Structure 1
């Protein structure tokens, strides 16, 4: 493995290894501070991060507001306080290296997070001089450059195609080119978490990332962006030896690498031990690219019981009509509230009766004129979670919340989805990793086969980076 040279990110020369920012307390001050201290760019998640009491224990994010809007204001306050706390602790953890310019510290934020711009302003205002940059994806963050430049930090937009970057550059970023730290290419078929798969791309047919990144570099050159501005390859990166033809490649220009999944299994990683143990059992194919997220984006997570239940729920689904029409001539006689009449096909009527006989006796309407059949207990949990919405997204399909205007998407709340804030808070703070959403990249199965993790070995972040630099 040839030695990796440092690259210029904004105004600083750093090791071209970036910690992927994972939300809801999965990338915190210890993991990101350790990554920065090792000479790379550590990434503090600013997505509803933990703050702490005087004893150092995470403060539970409990909501007292009687309305969604009131709870949304509480959520923004929690988000700002938590992210500021994490940044300050991460900086203290790596202070010597950061002051010397041998490491960098970014925050990661989701543009489609509820109140994202307010949170970003709030965090950057209170962490002046501590941060190198802001990494941002999950949407089209047109105002990212403007906000980052206002506080003197670089911006690292996350895109999944050259087309997306071209739109961002032409509309907004070209005005603030000097603050562009890097462009993160997040492979939509390989990365964990929310992915930027477009409607024109087939989720079942992965594309080779090389030509997509080469196209991204060509678009950057069209915009007058120097080849010295790195493209960060994110998603599917495990062994650097598998990417040797990318390094020092004149077609691609400066290339850095983001590691999102491997840092989950380190001593500094804040995820619970049960989650870490689960990672070491995964087989190839255990990570599912799915579309159950209330964001409406595709996302990748371990296909555990939580996702299997969502798959099964959607399979217990039939179309209906409010009037007898075409093949929909049969009045549904199970799962329907008194006074409601829905017409379905003969086959769907028989399917619904079968589900009811198995205990799925409640039919919930979806925004697509279909009904999904669930147990009475699940129906109560779904309705309770929808009612308890705290506005964690800018637009939520599950609860029909919107963080602006009249605070409603105008569509029926979708029972095929779930409260993402609830399940991510739960798994990050000790909840059952089989019964909650467990984000992971598609290379997570390699924990089981990589000899580095033999005999239950869990490295420190520095040991992991030293290992990565060998090519393994």
Structure 2
């Protein structure tokens, strides 16, 4: 079967309609995005707590010295700015100044706008576009206009884009480089599932993307590419989308496949793990401190979070007809339903003898070591999110969400930093898309073959 793929004009430059998806905290680096851009596609660098280098080319550790969360939050912003600038320069050098380089920002990152300003001021002429998701980035167009770069909002519905356009983007139409439709069921990392959508019932992306295109047509944006992200493994499976007049110009984003390349900075253990995955080994869950659903590889880290959340009961401070049983846990009294008292007794007997309150008037049961770890992680918060359900940090005057810290979640900065720097792949969060199991069955990766970025792009260009 023959397969052809034409280039497309994006961000004022002719490129292959292939984008490397951004993966935060030192995963989407200049080392991988530079070769992707050099191969003719769009390389993407994550601006989320990126790694900077010393004069010898060694990664500078992110050691937080501030005594307050606000101090550490400001350090995190500085780390992100310095690191992203270094990564952009590296990608620029690898692509010899000819490649198309975008940066990706988690809009819910604490200080996201400060980081983008800091990076774009120092990288003029090297960055073509800014991609933003995980939130509603209303200020994105204004920021892009200031620095003369294109912008690429990430949405999971036409309705979301319509709101962004009418409230903010219509004033910077000429710099809209593309609209990323990120499938909320199949993409890796954080997902944009709405309250009206069932996480267990994936929707067909075609009608959702078509709805987005219809909205864009009404707004005079038929020429602006839609970038299909999430669930894209090879292009032969999407041939009906290519040169489809109903959908208009379509570009494809690959987030998971670039993890397994020679240039990818993830550990060899992580790469080996990808080759061993089976169908169903990626879990869509809502433990993230961002409040968003996210998709990650099943391992002991996720297993512990599932088990932790299962050891949970409602409680009250005063008795009523339903909550009529008093229990004693670690010398504290709680009032629970009668049927829950036996569960608590069994959990305590099994060593889960520490009761932690959640913001939803439930008690969570963990062992002493986990309780100590949770409290320490909450105390050591670096303010990496604009609002964090785990630590109750918020990037506001009070530095607080006003809600109780939630022990059902985790410190995302801690685990992503660790796994990005050769940490344990069983005891950390491993983001991945739901097609990651295909590494093990795709003949391209036979006998443990790990391609270079150029080899991967060439493979994708054949349709496989």
TM-score, reference length from structure 1: 0.97
Task: Find the aligned partners of 2:195 and 2:100 in 1 and give their Cα distance.
Answer: 35
Partner of 1:273: 268
Is 1:307 matched with 2:302?
A: yes
Task: Quote how far apart the aligned CAs of 1:341 are.
Answer: 2.5
Is 1:326 matched with 2:321?
A: yes
Task: Quote how far apart the aligned CAs of 1:400 are.
Answer: 0.2
Tell me the alpha carbon deviations over residues 82-110 of structure 1, each in whole angstroms, 9 at most, x when there is no partner: 001100111011015x1xxxx31000001
Partner of 1:61: 62
User: Which runs of 5 or more residues in structure 2 are unaligned?
Assistant: none
- Please say if residues 8 and 228 of structure 1, whose CA atoms lie closer than 8 Å, have aligned partners that are also in contact: no
Task: Find the aligned partners of 2:379 and 2:457 in 1 and give their Cα distance.
Answer: 44
Task: Quote how far apart the aligned CAs of 1:10 are.
Answer: 2.7
Task: Quote how far apart the aligned CAs of 1:250 are.
Answer: 0.5
Task: Quote how far apart the aligned CAs of 1:329 are.
Answer: 1.4
3-state SS of 2:9 partner: strand
Is 1:30 matched with 2:31?
A: yes
Task: Quote how far apart the aligned CAs of 1:315 are.
Answer: 0.3
Task: Quote how far apart the aligned CAs of 1:158 are.
Answer: 0.5
3-state SS of 1:236 partner: coil
Aligned with 2:422 (options 427, 430, 442): 430
Task: Find the aligned partners of 1:274 and 1:357 in 2 and give their Cα distance.
Answer: 36
Task: Find the aligned partners of 2:67 and 2:264 in 1 and give their Cα distance.
Answer: 35
Task: Quote how far apart the aligned CAs of 1:303 are.
Answer: 1.2
3-state SS of 1:403 partner: coil
5 Å-filtered alignment, 1:202-221, equals 202-221=198-217
Tell me the alpha carbon deviations over residues 233-258 of structure 1, each in whole angstroms, 9 at most, x when there is no partner: 00000110000000000110000000
Is 1:104 matched with 2:100?
A: yes
Partner of 2:195: 199
Aligned with 1:133 (options 111, 129, 136): 129
Task: Quote how far apart the aligned CAs of 1:204 are.
Answer: 0.7
Task: Quote how far apart the aligned CAs of 1:440 are.
Answer: 0.1
Tell me the alpha carbon deviations over residues 106-139 of structure 1, each in whole angstroms, 9 at most, x when there is no partner: 0000100010000010000010010110011010
- Please say if residues 8 and 229 of structure 1, whose CA atoms lie closer than 8 Å, have aligned partners that are also in contact: no
3-state SS of 2:180 partner: strand
Is 1:370 matched with 2:362?
A: yes
Partner of 2:6: 5
Task: Quote how far apart the aligned CAs of 1:2 are.
Answer: 2.7
Q: Compute the RMSD of aligned alpha carbons.
A: 0.8
Task: Find the aligned partners of 2:417 and 2:261 in 1 and give their Cα distance.
Answer: 20
5 Å-filtered alignment, 1:150-299, equals 150-225=146-221, 227-299=222-294
3-state SS of 1:66 partner: coil
- Please say if residues 287 and 303 of structure 1, whose CA atoms lie closer than 8 Å, have aligned partners that are also in contact: yes
Partner of 1:39: 40
Task: Find the aligned partners of 2:113 and 2:107 in 1 and give their Cα distance.
Answer: 8
Is 1:142 matched with 2:138?
A: yes
- Please say if residues 306 and 437 of structure 1, whose CA atoms lie closer than 8 Å, have aligned partners that are also in contact: yes
Task: Find the aligned partners of 2:129 and 2:16 in 1 and give their Cα distance.
Answer: 15
Task: Quote how far apart the aligned CAs of 1:325 are.
Answer: 1.1
Aligned with 2:346 (options 337, 344, 354): 354
Task: Find the aligned partners of 2:57 and 2:268 in 1 and give their Cα distance.
Answer: 19
Task: Find the aligned partners of 1:54 and 1:362 in 2 and give their Cα distance.
Answer: 48
Task: Quote how far apart the aligned CAs of 1:405 are.
Answer: 2.2
Is 1:453 matched with 2:445?
A: yes
Task: Find the aligned partners of 2:228 and 2:308 in 1 and give their Cα distance.
Answer: 35
- Please say if residues 26 and 269 of structure 1, whose CA atoms lie closer than 8 Å, have aligned partners that are also in contact: yes
- Please say if residues 364 and 371 of structure 1, whose CA atoms lie closer than 8 Å, have aligned partners that are also in contact: yes
Task: Find the aligned partners of 2:55 and 2:342 in 1 and give their Cα distance.
Answer: 59
Runs of 4+ aligned structure 1 residues displaced above 2 Å come to: none
Partner of 2:49: 48
Aligned with 2:410 (options 412, 415, 418): 418
Task: Find the aligned partners of 2:193 and 2:236 in 1 and give their Cα distance.
Answer: 27
Tell me the alpha carbon deviations over residues 418-471 of structure 1, each in whole angstroms, 9 at most, x when there is no partner: 000000001110111111000000000000000000011100000001000111
Task: Find the aligned partners of 2:58 and 2:366 in 1 and give their Cα distance.
Answer: 37
State how many pairs are aligned.
463
Task: Quote how far apart the aligned CAs of 1:212 are.
Answer: 0.3
TM-score, reference length from structure 2: 0.99
User: Which runs of 5 or more residues in structure 1 are unaligned?
Assistant: none
- Please say if residues 15 and 39 of structure 1, whose CA atoms lie closer than 8 Å, have aligned partners that are also in contact: yes
3-state SS of 2:170 partner: helix
